Amino acid sequence: MDLAGAGFLKSRAIFPDNNGERRWARCVAHGEERRMDELIREFVIESQEGLDRMERCLTDLESRPDDAELLAEIFRTVHTIKGATGFLGFKGLETLAHSGENLLGMLRDGTIAADAHVITVLLDLLDGLRSILKRIEEEGGESCDGKELQDTELIRRLTALQTASTEAGAGSEREKCAAPLAKPESGRSQNESGANKADGHGTLPDDARAQGRGHGAEIAGVAATPPQSSAAESTLRVDVKLLNRLMNLVGELVLTRNQVLQATAADQGMTMLSRRLDMVTADLREGVMRARMQPVSNIFSKVPRMVRDLSHTLGRSVRLEMEGQETELDKSLLEAIKDPLTHAVRNALDHGIEAPAARVAQGKPEEGVLRLRAAQEGSHVVVEISDDGSGIAVESVRARAVERGLVAPERAAEMSKRELLQLIFLPGFSTARQVTNVSGRGVGMDVVRTNVEKIGGKVELDSQPGRGTTVRMRIPLTLAIIPALIVRSLGQSFALPQSALSELVHVSGEEAKRAIEWMEDAPVYRLRGHLLPLVILDRLLGAAAGDVGGREHFIAVLDADGRKYGLVVDGLADPEEIVVKPLSPILKSVGLYSGATVLGSAELALILDPGAMATMAGITVSERDNPGNRSDTDGEEASEFEYLVVSVGGRQAAVPLKEVLRIEQVPAARMEYVDRRPVLNFGGRLLRVEDPGGRLRSAASDASVLVVVCSDGARHAGIVVDQVLDVAKGSELMEAGSESAIPGLRLLCERVTSVFDLNLPSGRDATRCEEGFTQPAAEEQDGTNEPTMATSWRDAG
Amino acid sequence: MSKVPESESAKLIQVCSVRVAEELYGIPLGDILEIVGGARPQAVPLAPDFIAGLVHYRGDVLTTVNLRRVLGMPPAEMVQDLLVLEDADGPFGLAVDSVREVLTVSSADFEAKPSTVRKRKALFAGAFKLRDSLMVMLETAQLQPMRLAQLPEDV
């Protein structure tokens, strides 16, 4: 192959072969020069991925020192790096990788055993390689200032291991020479030696390119024999920028589709076409979003090494269990939870799991368990970090909070356990008796919460003294598209992220004067007996202070990092899934908006930042609305749930509030039927609808019905109700005599109310649905013969 | 201003001329991504004065500068035209009263701004002497919203 004048590398594809090794398959091009730094960049990315894999293998190796597969994988990684450095002329990297390879070769051949000491040295090798790669990435070359000494020391240790643990020195010598040649890619080996000879002055790209040309024939030879596996050729590296651009365009397409759908609604001839457009757009959007997804294992894989190092430093014995690593999350979100995960793991090891002796004394197994779990639940991904350690002593939290002046003593005395646990998330809090290297500086949990909330997620903490602690992060599936409530003020639309919205209050024109009360110049509203500070949106946005009375208003009750307040807006529009567009720095600096979006009506809307509005309006975390109070929905005891009280078929029924996603007014005509069962096209997804009151049958086609959209884990369902009555807390009803709780019934608003059981079977079999949706004992309780779920299903089908 | 060199041998340059009130301004054609007629920017409450608002442009939300406000004129009553400009920090919009035409002018007709221009002088590169009027050349980079925020009023 003629290579003169041609860049020796045109393009490179990654071909993972059956063993998962990524080879550098090189294709030779004519007439075009490929930039060297681009090549180096790819090499760095590639190698870093290899090292990540190697790290995982090394920690596994510790528990399975004889696993030949693992050793082979590690060997391959180091070998691949070494092979590539020959081309690129990174001398230091090559030398280090070479000595590592020698040791690994001996491990692989069973000459020496992989004991803890060897693994420690190998992990150091890994760090050494990483730091050189980092330098290459940042500075474009492996310029050594004193670093070289460290590497030399490492190489000495690597070599020492080889000579120390082999009885037959001569044998190992032969081994050493054989190792680099053991692989079939002879072209590469020759290149290495070529580079070695020529490389006198570091990393001149031209030098390397010259080398490449000189050995072009061999390179081409490698490319000419493609790996056998073709199934694995189906992966491709794509720039995140390109994905973002695609996401943007899809957002645009969604918008155009909405407008087309509106414009063609009346035209029968266009219906099929626009339906098709609708479907393709939805699929495309899902596809692009999926392309941005990465498995959680990308960040979980860092944990084994961390646990290993930490448990050595802290003298803990810890077993790590990981579950749900295949769960996928948007790349940017994955990045954002990296730090929180690290902090939570550090905390678990430092404050959670006790020293082995202490564990034995408490009758626990010597080895502690750290469990990482990831799972998708509806539109969220839940990441749990739990340990079986000492748990959090609530009393010491109380004492520490008072000591640090975070809470007034009187207030602390009356705080519930759940409230106290929330204090751990406050900045400056740590129960560790002393500050260690690992944690205890009081920033950890604060960082966890801040980072997770920044991406619209939530953190929960659960702890049983003596039994362990669980940190649960709930992360939205994607960042780019969020559900939002559209509110109107100043004659324009604003989007309010639903994650911060806890409820909506309607204040009619005649009520307004009375309902919105004033303390000096601060408006307040009595929300279930408590004063809720109000922020009047148009005033916050600079409108002249007009009279609030006399006009209709809505109060959106928001909860921003524990700061609870009501946002007074002029009107509400339908909730929408909005595509978040970033704002220019100048508008970000206004400090109220977190982005902008284009609504279905093609109108632009600014996205309000609930936290920033609270700050601007001077709302602070009040005593009552302390972080602890925020989670009072799932109260102290399980029986104290809050319920949405509705009326269905003339009777009072309830849905657990935390399962309610939305309440929507839906035109009856929009209801469609599959197997004569009602379903709803809900934001592009099919929503199964239950109609226990038989309202759909009686509704005129131009009427609209009220649908409560509920979620139960990953499944959603809609329930047609007559009207929404209230939100109430309910306690379990005890059966007279037996004193056992009656399932499915609660006392709400002083009436016995049946609670919808949303634990629906997924099968399409109607009889199974009936079982899942009956209202136990309801008929016996009050004797009325109201239609139950079961009957309505029969009627509908 | 690099794009309009005051060179010995005259070069021909393409400039888009825009009108604001009674004045004629010029923007190098190469800085313009697109011209959008009759845009209505969505106002952004609390944003600086010179921000006209947001405009939806090819899937992005563009921050738009109101050239009238930048030049200290009262805001326009009528629908304005919009230029989409681009500099190193990405695209942004510029609302002008109307876009006139693309002129091919000779660099020989260009003169740098006289030192007596004191107000907002960073915005102007100089002027082309057209037959019946002056076309004041704007410095595209200086119109970038973040730059404008740092621009002193009258220095």
Whether residue A288 is predicted with pLDDT greater than 70 in this model: the reply is: yes
Which residues does chain A have within 8 Å of residue B42's beta carbon, measured at their own beta carbons?
Answer: 492, 603-606
Pairing of strands B60-66, B90-96: parallel
Beta bridge partners of A462: A470
Using 50, 70 and 90 to split pLDDT, how confident is the model at B154?
Answer: very low
Outline where A414-497 has alpha helix (H). 417-423, 444-454
Higher pLDDT, A199 or A727: A727
- Among the partner-chain residues B44, B59, B90, the one whose CB lies closest to the CB of A249 is B59
Contact A249 B56 (CB under 8 A): no
Prediction pTM value: 0.51
A436: pLDDT strictly greater than 60: no
For residue A556, the model assigns a pLDDT of: 93
Per-window interface: B 22-81 vs A, CB < 8 A: 42-48, 51, 54-56, 58-61, 63
CB nearest to A604's CB, from B42, B47, B51: B42
Mean pLDDT over the full length of chain A: 72
Q: What is the β-pairing status of strands A22-27 and A11-16?
A: antiparallel
A31 CA: distance to closest CA in chain B (Å): 31
Q: Do A587 and B56 touch (CB under 8 A)?
A: no
Whether the per-residue pLDDT at A567 is higher than 90: the answer is: yes
The answer, yes or no, to whether residue A405 has pLDDT greater than 50, is: yes
Stretch A35-39: mean pLDDT: 68
CB A33 within 8 A of CB A53: no
Q: In the structure, what pLDDT confidence band is assigned to residue A88 with cuts at 50, 70 and 90? A: confident
Residues of B in contact with A605 (CB under 8 A): 42
Question: Predicted confidence band at A561 (pLDDT cuts at 50, 70, 90)?
Answer: low
In terms of Cβ atoms closer than 10 Å to its own Cβ (0-12, 13-18, 19+), residue A170 is exposed
Contact call for B46 and A590, based on CB within 8 A: yes
**Tokens at residue A177, please?**
């020479």
pLDDT of residue A148: 61
Strands (E), A414-552: 458-464, 468-476, 481-489, 492-497, 501-507, 516-519, 522-527, 530-536
- Report the percent of chain B where pLDDT is more than 70: 90
pLDDT > 80? residue A209: no
Give yes or no for residue A453 having a pLDDT over 80. no
Tell if the CB–CB gap between A587 and B51 is shorter than 8 Å: yes
**C-beta separation of B14 from B29 below 8 A:** yes
pLDDT digits (tens, 9 = 90+) for A740-768: 666 677 777 777 778 877 654 443 333 33
Continuous segment of H or E residues that includes residue A120: helix A116-139
Angle between helices A186-198 and A91-108 (to 10 degrees): 140
The ipTM estimated for the assembled molecules is 0.86
> What is the CATH classification number for the domain harbouring B125?
2.40.50.180
Domain carrying residue B74: 12-150
> Is B155 a member of any domain?
no
- Checking if the pLDDT of A724 tops 60, the result is yes
Evaluate whether residue B117 is within a structural domain.
Answer: yes
Number of domains in chain B: 1
Lowest mean pLDDT among A122-131, A211-220, A703-712: A211-220
Please compute the mean of the pLDDT values over residues A144-164 and round it to a whole number.
70
In a domain? residue B2: no
Which residues does A contribute to its contact with B (CB < 8 Å)? 248-249, 251-252, 490, 492, 541-543, 581-587, 589-590, 592-593, 596-598, 602-606
Distance from the A601 Cα atom to the nearest Cα atom in chain B, whole angstroms: 12
Inter-chain touch B45–A490, beta carbons under 8 Å: yes
CB A575 within 8 A of CB A484: yes
**Is residue A277's pLDDT more than 70?**
yes
Chain B residues inside the 8 Å CB shell of A602: 56
Instruction: Provide the edge-to-edge strand list for the sheet that holds B60-66.
Output: B32-39, B80-87, B90-96, B60-66, B51-57
In whole angstroms, what is the distance from residue A682 CA to residue A636 CA?
Answer: 34
pLDDT in tens, B4-18: 444 456 788 899 999
pLDDT of residue B63: 92
The answer to whether the Cβ–Cβ distance between B44 and A590 falls below 8 Å is yes
Kindly indicate the confidence band of residue A57, based on its pLDDT and cuts at 50, 70 and 90. confident
Residue B112 predicted with pLDDT over 70: yes
- Mutation target to probe the A interface, by most A beta carbons within 10 A, among B40, B50, B61, B62 is B61
Is B88 strand, coil or helix?
Answer: coil
Q: Which residue has the higher pLDDT, B22 or A195?
A: B22
* pLDDT tens digits for range A320-376: 999 988 888 888 888 888 888 888 888 888 878 888 888 888 888 888 899 999 988
**Residue of higher predicted confidence among A172 and A513:** A513
* Average pLDDT, integer, range A44-49: 80
- Smallest CA–CA distance from A247 into chain B, residue: B59
* Confidence tier at A434 by pLDDT (50, 70, 90): very low
- Per-residue pLDDT averaged across A560-572, rounded? 85
Local confidence band at A711 (pLDDT 50, 70, 90 cut-offs): confident
For position A495, what pLDDT does the model report?
93
Helices A444-454 & A338-347, crossing angle to 10 degrees? 150
* Chain A residues with CB-CB distance to B145 below 8 A: 584-587
Using pLDDT thresholds of 50, 70 and 90, give the confidence band for residue B25: very high
Could you report the per-residue pLDDT of A474-499, keeping only the tens digit for each?
887 766 667 789 999 888 999 998 88
Residue B5 lies in a domain: no
Task: Give the pLDDT confidence score for residue A231 in this predicted structure.
Answer: 43
Average pLDDT, chain B: 84
Q: How far is A249 from chain B (nearest CA, A)?
A: 6
Per-residue pLDDT band at A568 (split at 50, 70, 90): very high
Q: Which residue of B has its CA nearest to A592?
A: B46
Best of B40, B44, B87 to mutate (most A CBs within 10 Å, chain A): B44
- B59 and A252: CB-CB below 8 Å? yes
Residue A508 pLDDT > 70, yes or no? yes
* Chain B contact set for A247 (CB, 8 A): none
A218-257 confidence digits (pLDDT tens): 333 333 344 444 444 677 778 888 887 887 788 778 777 7
pLDDT at residue A142 in the model: 65
